[in-house]
Structure 1
Amino acid sequence: MAPFSQELEPPRNPVRFTNDAAGLCAAYLAYKASDLSRQIVPHSYCLLLLPEDMAQAVWPTLAAYDDFFDYFFMAKVGLKGLQGLLAAVERRTESGIAIAQHFGWSVLAPAIAQAYVKIKTVRANARNWLLKFPEHAITGLLPAALGKAGSARDTAVTVLRLLVAQGHTELIRQVAARYEQKAVNLAVQAMLDADPLDGYPAKISKAPGFWLPHLWPRPLLLDGTPLPNSALEHLGSMLRFPMTEGVYPGIEQVKAACQRESLAEFAWHVFQQWDYYAGVPAKESWAFTALGLLGTDETVRQLVPLIRTWPTEGLLARAQTGLDVLVRIGSNYALLQLNGIAQKVKSKPLQLAAQQKMQELADNAGLTADELAERITPDLGLDAAGGLMLDFGPRQFHIGFNELLKPVVYDSDGKRLADLPKPNGSDNEYRASEAQRQFKALKRDVKALADQTLKRLERAMCQQRRWEREIFESTLVQHPLLQHVVRRLVWAYSAGEHMQTFRVAEDLSYTDASDNTISLPATAVIVLAHPFNLVPAIVASLSQLFADYQLIQPFAQLSREVFRASNADAAVTEALNKAVPTNALRGLESRGWEKGNNFSGEIGSYRTQLSADCHAELHFEPPYSLAVADKTLRHQLDHLTLENKGQPVAAAQLDAIVLSELLRDLYHLNN
């Protein structure tokens, strides 16, 4: 190797800068059209090496074709690069709008508004820009909003209505006043005063061939009168309107005038025609999203099995649209099913999409995901005491629930039955049939709810989630279904220097470990008691009390193993010192662990969330294959990585209860 002091020879063919911007653009476009563009990717720094005037001259052309220049170049030249940024927004909308978040320029408004209205994948970023720079948006869109009819005006008016809804009405008037023309001010005021029912598109698409509403069960008015053909045609037109910024008000008028069940049945027929007979044409996807506008809980029951199945048939995008439909229906039952998909579904991308939607709903409500899940738990038609009476006519049956929230049937004498009996000759045929239908629906609905609820409460105990008294009582104690679980658990609140434990009695009063009635302070902050924080005498007393009342707990609480480690890191190392079969590792999934990253279908780790900010990942060797089941294979537990807010932490830094739960999971792995 030559010494560092040796001079390097100059290149035989030195590059000469001719400042030929047009020539460079032509050469770049030729490169993009060649095979080289698939083999060689220019480095983003290259644009910065050009003379500044030349770089600015070529930037709009290059920005329209590649995104690798954006961040570096715009960070350096700032406002001098706006023309190139406009080209990026118009030609490479997603990456262009991402960069545009840092620049307020009215010329960008029409392109960003169009993206907001027409491109679902960038709608959130486009909306952020419009709300971040409302004055620039209004300035750029007002001419189109007051111009000739067409898609440009529809787009501009849609965005201005968005800004009105966000409190920018006065700003619109101020921008209009800059024209210093009375006609402009009057036109803007007319636009602001316009009847929302007049806010339909200038061009209304024609009904597709599968639109045959006169052949389907018609929506019924509240008095039972079927909608006439003319009204059905208008309903079809409204369903085809875009829903960029809310639902067309006419839809709400139809829902107010018609029986909801009949509208939902009609919408399901529209969906079936699109899905089964028309070949799901993408441009007619309104026939699918109409379920969100007109659907009910019965629609949800029909749709959710399809959403769960579609990804296995290569229809992930349709399943993800189905999640939007559930959000649009918005009932507690619809959101419960959405949360169920977020908790468990075969398709990981669908699960992540559902989790994101639940998190967005929670963020909008100012809640955590678990707090939202609690508030959307439907009451399933139960009475205040948490029961349901099913009437067969001469016979009645009472429905209660066990510790796992499974329905339990009692006859009129209070005797527990194995199941709801079949009707006999003395029963009222209609009432008995309706009762059986109701019981079948109840079992189906509560099955989806029970698993979510029990896992959420066990997680709340392990992570020491807190409830203010008012929230605790309104969402748990007084909830017709959840009270059946609440009464089987031990709760606690801070009382001076110690924790006061209590349980919820049958009459929803509160009693202590000695079964004496107590009153909760108005300021009490309540937790699900973890045995780690309870003295043995209290655990023994409460265990006896629960045994006396024959109360079975829904998950291990009083009987839960507790691990106290003087040396946390050593305790974890000891727990890892074993080899376990594949089934034992898979058993972690029932404890809330998830498979780690897998390559070519091989699993080499499991991951779990220990607390709001802390995660653990268990690594083992060798990995196991998802495709081949080897019951003889054993895996050596290799190591455990712990992260808090993305930063590595040691076991000794974990909360004592979190560490106890982690050691419990590790020791429960079968040898």
Structure 2
Amino acid sequence: MDLPKALLEPPWARKPAPAPSGDEPIIVPGLVPPDDRAVVWEPGEREEWAAVRPFGSWQDGDWEKAAEEFRDGRMGYEPTRAGFLAQAPEHLARPLLAGWEPHVTWDFDHSLRPIVARFETAAWDVSVRLAKQNPYGTGPVVMPFLSADVARMVADWLHRLKSAQKLAHAWFDRHALAAVPYLVPDALGKRVGPRRGAVKALRTIEGDVVGAARVHGDEAAEAVARLLAAAPAGAAPVEPPIRAPSLPRWLDADALPRPVLREGGELPRDAARNLLLALTVSPGARLDATAVVDGAAQVCEPESLTALVWAQFEAWQAAGMPKGSGFVLSALGRFGDDVVVRRLAPLAKEWPGRSGGYSSAVQGLEALVDIGTDLALTHLNGIAQKSRYKGLRGEAQRKLARIAERRGLTPGQLADRLVPDFGLDADGTLTLDYGPRRFVVSFDEQLRPQVADEGGTRRKALPKPGAKDDPDLAPAAHRRFAELRKDVRAVASAEVARLESAMVAGRAWTRDEFGAFLVAHPLMWHLARRLVWLAGDRAFRLAEDRTFADLDDETVEPAASADVRIAHPLLLGDSLAAWSQVFADYEILQPFPQLGRPVHTLADGAGGGLERFEGLTVPTGRFLGLTRTAWKRGAPQDNGIEHWISCTLAPGVTVVVDLSPGIAVGLVDLNPVQTIERVWIGAVPGAPSSAIENGLAGVDPVLVSELLADLTRLTATY
């Protein structure tokens, strides 16, 4: 078969075309661009940017103390610093903005937008610097900016970066003729790089470009007219020579499996090497190798490309995961499948625990995002909820938040859509065909698979294929069960934890969402039917036929407009005992404690009874265990000691537990036992001056109950 030209003649192997006569430089010396800076807003745009909620959000509190932490570096997480600048009092934030030099390479546009809307030109330098570092991710923040430095930067993107073409065109479409005076000195100047970008930009702008250039004089305007006449609009200037990519020393190209062509045979050796070289080229680089990779995808069997990039990944692992090899994980993102997801996700979860492994773990998360299947995003969601590494957990959460934002969803709504159905039947089961016999797989309250024969008799495990079974069907069915068990195990605990968190937080589903993602979903159905739900003030469970049943097993139909939530036992009131009896009669086991969950209320008095926990001695490990939920460790103080943990229940309402001697950062076993010195309620952890006199009055009773349950378990004796 004929191979795509890009596979046989990659861009680095082509000789540069000779310069057309129309691209001869036209020099007018001595021109200087305007030195002003302007922020040009579209109608309503500034208000829209100002309303963006940064990833690092703040609540009113001890701003002076937070500003001190910002200045001395204790507030080290950049999205948190961005959130502070967006929301702190201006007299504190503005001086700190001037010296802020964040070092980030990921998408920071979201966090910068409210800062630009608030401070405009005061946020100019940091915005432009970050846009230069990452045009694709952070570049959109300079859209309102108009100046010589921004015009030169965007013109360079237009000339050099394929990944920023859409953004560059949007910037020049927006500022149009107003950008021309800033471009003309470069377009008619001696410096080759700025001249190429400016000339291409001038040829891109529509309208009377020559007239707009006349602010620099008639000679400059006539020179611009000659430039525009020398080549049609959009004509590309001469490209500088391109350096060919190279393979790393640890990668033996001949040891990797050759991709298989769709029409039979293997990809020729030279073309296969070109593909490997193209995979090493970073997206957005001046050398655009996209056509080579796309050409391989067009003519090769997908499974063989997956095998190639996985073999490359294994070679990278065997070499000790050398740095500067991010292309390996990017290749998995390009050609990976669900088999790769099952192998990659467990590794990425553990990489932060090894020296230098955190950056590889983040790139592994990017690969899961790029693979983009339901299973990949489900694993990403699991890492976001349960990773033992706080940084990786936060990175996964931010990636999911950006995915949700692009889809116009909340993180919870996105999580609903990420639960795979694993090919289960509509009734939530899977039939495995061995030929002469069949087995039915269902799931228990923890989503553990249960196997029964066609007659309904439970079996301890799925039997191995026997001599009388079909030699093709039986082994395939056995492998299908093994994959299903592994896949469901990966999501089960995360989904159970997600529903429990939804009950505590009071998350509500619309009737349509409840029906689509819980009642009708073949896997989530197994959990949903084991819980009591509320629609308005009406409690119900899901009967076997998926109808809504009340305490008397009568069918109920709540109003279509009523949102549905998981009933916390505190909300069931006097009917709690009756519902417990119904579930006992039907022998319904619950995925997490709901009906049998301890319920706590505040004692009378200003402190609500929290003082009863003071003076108690608790192993440090129990406090660390609390941080797997909504509790957070305090900021390190002198000698790296954390003297409190806290839990925010509502905006401006935080419960703080003061500890002695405190938890040592990086050496948690140094002080194996902690004494609870004080339990208090304030607006800001670590700031006793922010204590709230009325305590937890007005806070959701469910959240208060869960808080008291946490403290009760924390201080219980065993």
Distance in 2 between the 1:402 and 1:611 partners?
35
Shift of 1:302: 1.6
Residue 154 of structure 1 is aligned with which of 154, 160, 169? 160
The answer on whether the counterparts of 2:173 and 2:205 sit within 8 Å (CA) in structure 1 is no
**Residue 296 of structure 1: aligned partner:** 337
Supply the distance in 1 between the matched residues of 2:314 and 2:230 (Cα, whole angstroms). Answer: 47
Match of residue 636 from structure 1: 676
Q: Please tell me the residue identity of whatever aligns with 2:481.
A: F
TM-score (norm 2): 0.68
Does residue 619 (structure 1) correspond to residue 632 (structure 2)? The answer is: no
The answer for the alignment partner of 2:566 in structure 1 is 528
Task: Give the Cα–Cα distance (whole angstroms) in 1 for the partners of residues 171 and 375 of structure 2.
Answer: 29
The one of 365, 378, 384 equivalent to 1:336 is 378
One of 262, 273, 277 as aligned partner of 1:233:
273
SS of 1:423 mapped into structure 2: coil
Amino acid at match of 2:708: L
What fraction of aligned residue pairs are identical, expressed as a percent?
30
Quick check: 273-282 or 329-338, which moved more? 273-282
Relative to structure 1, is the Cα distance of residues 169 and 247 closer, same or farther in structure 2, using a 3 angstrom cutoff?
farther
- Give 1:27-38 correspondences, 5 Å limit: none
CA contact (8 A) 1:403 1:488 kept: yes
What's the counterpart of residue 552 of structure 1?
589
Structure 1 residues 375-403: Cα deviation after superposition (integer angstroms, max 9, x where no partner): 21122222222111223332322111111
Kept in 1, the 8 Å contact 2:548–2:557? The answer is yes
Q: Normalising by the residue count of structure 1, what TM-score does the alignment of the two structures yield?
A: 0.72
Mapped partners of 1:462, 1:403: distance in 2: 19
Moved more, 395-404 or 350-359: 350-359
Q: 1:488 to 1:576 in 2, by over 3 A?
A: same
Structure 2 distance, partners of 1:430, 1:163, is 56
Cα distance, 1:416–1:216 mapped onto 2, change above 3 Å: same
CA distance, structure 2, for counterparts of residue 233 and residue 261 of structure 1: 18
Match of 2:550 in 1: 512
Name 2:709's counterpart in structure 1: 664
Quote the Cα distance in structure 2 between the aligned partners of 1:612 and 1:391: 55
Q: Is the 8 A contact 2:453 2:459 kept in 1?
A: yes
Q: Report what 2:145 is aligned to.
A: 133
The answer to whether the 8 A contact 2:433-2:439 is kept is yes
The change in CA–CA distance for 1:534 and 1:294 in structure 2 (over 3 A counts) is same
- Picking from 695, 699, 706, the partner of 1:654 is 699
Candidates 130, 133, 156, aligned match of 1:115: 133
Structure 1 gaps of 5+ residues are 1-43, 45-69, 76-83, 118-122, 147-152
Contact kept in structure 2, 1:403 and 1:552, CA below 8 Å: yes
Aligned twin of 1:6? none
User: Secondary structure of the equivalent of 2:359?
Assistant: helix
State the partner residue of 2:34. none
Indicate yes or no: 2:604 matched with 1:567: yes
Distance between the aligned counterparts of 2:576 and 2:268, measured in 1? 68
Listed one character per residue, the Cα deviations across residues 444-503 of structure 1 (whole Å, up to 9, x for unaligned) are: 222221221111111111121111111111122111111100111111112xxxx01121
Report the counterpart of residue 248 of structure 1 in structure 2.
290
Distance in 2 of aligned mates of 1:74 and 1:170:
27
Judge conservation of contact 1:221–1:259 (CA < 8 Å) in 2.
Answer: yes
Equivalent of 1:205, from 227, 242, 245?
A: 245
Residue 500, structure 1, aligned to residue 538, structure 2: yes
Once the two structures are TM-superposed, the CA of residue 294 in structure 1 deviates from its matched residue by 0.9
1:660, distance to aligned residue in structure 2 (A): 1.7
Q: Distance in 2 between matches of 1:105 and 1:594?
A: 31
Distance verdict in 2 for CA 1:72–1:555, change over 3 Å? closer
Find the aligned partners of 2:647 and 2:583 in 1 and give their Cα distance: 31
Q: 1:563 to 1:281 in 2, by over 3 A?
A: closer
Q: Distance in 2 between matches of 1:108 and 1:664?
A: 45
Q: Note closer, same or farther for the CA distance 1:285–1:259 as it changes in structure 2 (3 Å cut).
A: same
Give yes or no for contact 2:654–2:682 (8 Å, CA) kept in 1. Answer: yes
Out of 435, 445, 458, the residue aligned to residue 477 of structure 2 is: 435
Cα distance in structure 1, aligned partners of 2:645 and 2:130: 42
Residue 74 to residue 557, structure 1, CA distance change in 2 (3 Å): closer
User: How far does residue 242 in structure 1 lie from its aligned partner after superposition?
Assistant: 2.7
Per the alignment, in what secondary structure is the counterpart of residue 466 of structure 2? coil
> CA shift at 1:183, angstroms?
6.1
2:396 aligned with 1:354 = yes
Contact 1:219 1:259 in 2 (8 A): yes
Describe the superposition over 1:45-74 as per-residue Cα deviations: whole angstroms up to 9, x where unpaired.
xxxxxxxxxxxxxxxxxxxxxxxxx97699
Please give the per-residue CA displacement for 1:206-229, whole angstroms capped at 9, x wherever unaligned.
344555445322333445543333
Deviates more, 1:295-304 or 1:359-368: 359-368
Counterpart contact for 2:551–2:578, Cα < 8 Å = yes
Alignment of 1:53-64 (within 5 A): none
Distance 1:597 1:74 in 2: 22
Say whether the 8 Å CA contact 2:139–2:167 is kept in structure 1: no
Shift of 1:640: 3.8
| Maintained 8 Å contact 1:260/1:296 | no
Q: Distance in 2 between matches of 1:611 and 1:223?
A: 62
1:301 maps to amino acid:
R
Native 8 Å contact 1:163 1:169 kept in 2 = no
2:305 maps to a residue whose letter is L
1:175 paired residue number: 205
Higher relative contact order (CA 8 A, sep 6+): 2
Match of 1:480 among 514, 522, 539: 522
* SS class of match (1:638): strand
Number of equivalenced pairs: 567
**What letter is aligned with 1:486?**
A
